[in-house]
Amino acid sequence: MESIAVEPKRRRWPWVLLVLLVLLAVLVVAAEFITRSVLPGIVRGIVIEQLDLPADQQLDVEADGILLPQLIAGRLDELHLSSDRVTLEGVTGAADVTATGVPLRGGDLASASGTVRIDQTQLSALLANSELPIESLALEAPNAIASGSISLFGTSIEVSLTLTPGAKDGAITLTPVSATLGGVVLDAQQLNDRFGSLAAQFTATQQLCIADRLPAGLTITGLRIDGTEAVIDLDVDGAIATDQTLLDPGVCP
């Protein structure tokens, strides 16, 4: 009697494992996609509510890295917020902010910084309380040209000041480079030689606090002219995410 050969059963578990791995990868990719679609809207809503911005405020949100592990850990590595036009405490400009270590279950930010780009009209409004004669302002990188009039020896004289802006101790600084009086251009030394103490306001660096024009949690760390715009560098207090008072206007000494 002939024996019947029995084929050994094929091992199917490697194929099953492979299919499971593929399905898991697809689910992870889908979850990542959904997270990237949903998270920006959630963050945008929170920011708009906290800063009391208009409901239709344009605000772009982007998170770096693979999000699922960050969500599981409860903290985003890096988050970018940007807007072409936003108004905070009366100052309007284009804003770009980067925050690191963003907690998803409440808590302070590890760090945050950003820039705000404003035009000459906005910068002129910020400098309104300066002691310099600024009736109009033009931006010519790296300086700002302020024009106005002064009373000198009882006579009103048109003056144009070339100023280099900057920042120190959270305040704006304005360093005079030269002045044009009656069509004559004079540098700081020439002004001192001709007018002595009367020229002090045109030659000394002025410091101007604008903390009351910004949320208390923002500190100016730099100011420069870029083309026809002024770029303000800001440091953001990480506690602004938990301390409501840091969203209120700051105070000048």
Res 160: pLDDT: 86
Conformation bin of residue 199: beta by default, left when phi > 0, alpha when psi is -120 to 50: alpha
Q: Does the pLDDT value for residue 153 go beyond 90?
A: no
Q: Does the pLDDT value for residue 239 go beyond 90?
A: yes
> Whole-angstrom Cα distance, residue 119 to residue 172?
16
pLDDT band at residue 131, thresholds of 50, 70 and 90?
confident
> Whole-angstrom Cα distance, residue 11 to residue 17?
11
Residues composing the chain: 253
> Whole-angstrom Cα distance, residue 115 to residue 51?
17
The pLDDT tens digits for 2-24 are 555 545 555 666 666 666 666 66
Res 19: pLDDT: 60
- Tokens representing residue 4 in the block: 């019947």
The pLDDT tens digits for 22-74 are 666 556 556 666 667 778 888 888 888 888 889 999 999 998 888 888 888 88
Give the E-state strand segments of the chain in sequence order: 60-63, 75-88, 91-103, 111-118, 136-140, 143-152, 155-168, 171-181, 184-187, 206-208, 218-226, 229-236
